[in-house]
Chain A
Amino acid sequence: MTTQPLNRRGFLTRVAALGLTTALGTTLAPHLARAEWNKAAFDGKSSAEAFKALGVSATAESADVQILASDIAENGAVVPVQAVSKIPGTTRISVLVEKNPSTLAAVFDIGPDVVPDVTTRIKMGQTSNVTVLVEADGKYFTATKEIKVTLGGCGG
């Protein structure tokens, strides 16, 4: 019986390994379950108010956070913005538009299986600074870019 590929010990080891990976899979992303719509943060009228409601303390500008968007948006109703973080351990990416009536546009909770690189389209009422806020290991990093709007997106 030397060709028997799976003896009892080998089988048990495999079962244990499988159990471990399953357990890891479920515990690796606890922050994905914490999301409850943060009204206070979305009601914030400035980055400072939104940061406070998000529990953000000290932020640092970082070259590892990138905003990919055109400098001029012809139509403020549809402004494509790509937010990229190259910081290891990124768990959350937020997009804020300083001069919008509600500054916070979006919060993405990034699981370990997702590349911290998200693209969406936002509305901008007027030319404004757009900030991407990245949370990684409990620290906060930002990047800011001014996007000029030639036609506002919040009028009638």
Chain B
Amino acid sequence: MGNPMKIRAASKDGVTEVKVLMSHEMETGLRKDASGNAIPAWFIAELSAKLNDKPVMTAQWGPSISKNPFLSFKIKGGKAGDKVAVTWTDNKGDSRTDEAVVT
């Protein structure tokens, strides 16, 4: 279970813009530690977003996404008080879901 995500969701002119900041190492598997041993890959592989429990977007990521990933996307519709939920699953099977209320 990773650290909480920061999610902001704001509705404007019928479009809800969602900004997500995740806390994850996003290790590529190509780097080596001080003693020369390869650091195993560890990254968010799958991601899904829901508006009021309805899936709106999914994503697959590779290790090329930056450490502590940022994601921004726009949902058609959505109004103040609606719930946006984002779930990620990393390549080790760890997973985390966080929610935010649309403002």
Contacts and interface: CB of A to CB of B under 8 A. Distances in A.
B1 interface: no
Contact of A37 (B46, B63, B64): B46
Interface string B58-76: 1111111111011111111
Looking at chain B's contact residues, the main secondary structure is strand
A115 B72 CA distance: 11
Contacts of B75: 113-115
Report the interface size class on chain B.
35 or more
Given A38-B60, A120-B70, 7 more contacts: A37-B91, A104-B64, A105-B65, A111-B56, A111-B57, A114-B49, A114-B74
A105 B63 CA distance: 7
Interface of A: 25, 29, 32-33, 35, 37-38, 42, 77-80, 82, 97, 100-102, 104-111, 113-115, 117-124, 153-156
Nearest to A113: B56
Interface centre among B30, B32, B64, B91 (most CB of A within 10 A): B64
B45 interface: yes
